[in-house]
Amino acid sequence: MRSPVSDAAPAPAPEAKAQARAYAGFGVLAFWGVVLGLTLGADYAMVDALLLAALLAAVPGLSMAQVPLIKGMTVDRLPAYWSSILTLWLLGTGCWLVGTRGDGASAIGIVLLPVGAMVGWSVGLTAAGMGIILLFRWVGSRVGVAETLLLRSLLPRTTEERRVFAVLSVAAGTGEELAYRGYAIPMLAPLLGIGGAAALSTLVFGLMHGYQGRLGIVRTTLMGAVLAGGFILSGSLIPAMIAHTAIDLMAGIAIGDWLLSPEPDYGVNDSVSSPS
């Protein structure tokens, strides 16, 4: 498989490589710390400890490690999309298989609601998520903070890219919700309480999107908090899955260019300078 980073991209600087190694090293240490803490200190089953450690430490650690390596770079969109789709579906499938082994699909929030409640929660969560995106667009334009170049380069441009991005949106809406809401929150609730479990999983969810820059991390964390709240209050993960998918489709395909078009062509972590 081709690397999602463009072949024309410059090699990362030594400082960037050192920072990436630090993030990766922290992720590895945190992974084993979570495993030992959950198995020895909280009597979790090994399979749950390993999966939670992957979700809470390994995945965000590796995600953050990529940020300094690809800062300011553009990507080959289709390979990046398919790589993410595979990762998200593997993550979601793993959480489904582990999370449902005892009490079935209801253990991870796959619960049908009455039609009116299902529609109401799905529409409400979608509207709240889009509201957060629009709010951050407004804030970013007022304070002069733009999206990262990487995020800009990930937006689909061709018909084929839009089709695959739609598949990616479904993969994110199902895989990430199954992992960070449906599985992580119920599993962590006995240890941290429902509020603590939601807060920790939401923070990690935000850090996973470090490629979007500081602005994107805060925005995604708030988005995760809204989706977690919808899951907890409605008692079903399905509206959050529908809303997550719909938000990604709208923000990535329907109005993606409009969301970014007023912004200058530099990223949150890039220097602010006039284009040459």
Q: Is the pLDDT of residue 7 over 90?
A: no
pTM for this entry: 0.88
- Tell me what pLDDT residue 79 has: 95
Q: Is the pLDDT of residue 267 over 50?
A: no
Q: How confident is the model at residue 211 (pLDDT cuts 50, 70, 90)?
A: confident
Q: Mean of the pLDDT values across residues 233-249? A: 97
Q: Is the pLDDT of residue 10 over 80?
A: no
Most trustworthy range by pLDDT among 113-122, 151-160, 201-210: 113-122
Q: Mean of the pLDDT values across residues 58-76? A: 84
Q: Where are the domains of the chain?
A: 10-70, 75-260
Mean of the per-residue pLDDT values of the chain: 88
- Tell me what pLDDT residue 143 has: 82
Q: Is the pLDDT of residue 1 over 50?
A: no
DSSP letter for each residue of the chain: ---SB-TTSPPPPHHHHHHHHHHHHHHHHHHHHHHHIIIIIS---HHHHHHHHIIIIIHHHHHHHHHHHHTT--B-HHHHHHHHHHHHHHHHHHHHHHHTTTT-GGGGT-----HHHHHHHHHHHHHHHHHHHHHHHHHHHHHT-PPPHHHHHHS--SHHHHHHHHHHHHHHHHHHHIIIIIIHHHHHHHHHHHHHHHHHHHHHHHHTTGGGHHHHHHHHHHHHHHHHHHHHHHS-SHHHHHHHHHHHHIIIIISHHHHHTTS-S--TTS------
% of residues, the chain, pLDDT over 90: 67
Residue 153: beta bridge partners? none
159-163, 196-200, 240-244, 271-275 — which is least confidently predicted? 271-275
**Residues 89-123: pLDDT tens digits?**
999 999 999 999 989 999 999 999 999 999 999 99
- Tell me what pLDDT residue 195 has: 97
Count of residues in the chain: 276
Say how far apart CA 106 and CA 143 lie, in whole Å. Answer: 44
- Tell me what pLDDT residue 32 has: 97
**Residues 14-57: pLDDT tens digits?**
888 899 999 999 999 999 999 999 999 999 999 999 999 999 99
